[in-house]
Structure 1
């Protein structure tokens, strides 16, 4: 996983950043392929983008509504209007960077990703 992309200013590109990390590509490449720019990545568009890149994923989000859960090895977390990536006990966020402690009260839902072989 190329975490160097997190050093850029990625505000408004949270879903695109998650996909870029998963696919080992630049955020710019994801934006171009999905035609989805800053502040435009909704949940539906995230699913469409994952499908575009043929990312093996769960059919739907699992909702926890702020309760602590045991996350799968790789998943995209959905907070209130924000996405971040979780992989092997580490969180990757386009705003906060890389961290291991997480406030589960912010978590609304998560989408399991079966992409371990690419990372």
Structure 2
């Protein structure tokens, strides 16, 4: 629990979660979008420079995306 961002990067990069935690230098609940983008850059994974906020509206998502859901923990 709390390693969602690290897990997403690990799956995309094809490496272990432990490696991504080391690269991102963050533990549970510490993966900010900035750290995720830095990790994607580190692994050479292309990404958009735009974060799309749907705010509950219908949206067409790209083929591959990382989604963040507000879960009442903030």
Q: TM-score range by the shorter chain?
A: 0.7 to 0.9
How far has the Cα of 1:68 moved from its partner?
A: 2.3
Aligned residues between the structures: 71
Normalized per residue, which structure has more helix? 2
1:76 is matched with which residue? 66
- In 2, the alpha carbon distance for the partners of 1:59 and 1:68 equals 21
Which structure has the higher relative contact order (CA within 8 Å, separation 6+)? 1
1:37 is matched with which residue? 27
- TM value normalised by structure 2: 0.84
How far has the Cα of 1:29 moved from its partner?
A: 1.0
1:5-58 residue CA offsets vs partner (Å, 9 max, x unmatched): xxxxxx110000000110111111111122111111011111111112121000
- Structure 2: gaps (5+ residues): none
- TM value normalised by structure 1: 0.55
User: Which of structure 1's runs of 4+ aligned residues deviate more than 4 A?
Assistant: none
How far has the Cα of 1:76 moved from its partner?
A: 0.6
- Structure 1: gaps (5+ residues): 1-10, 82-119
- In 1, the alpha carbon distance for the partners of 2:62 and 2:11 equals 17
- What do you get for the CA RMSD once the two structures are aligned? 1.4
- In 1, the alpha carbon distance for the partners of 2:22 and 2:31 equals 13
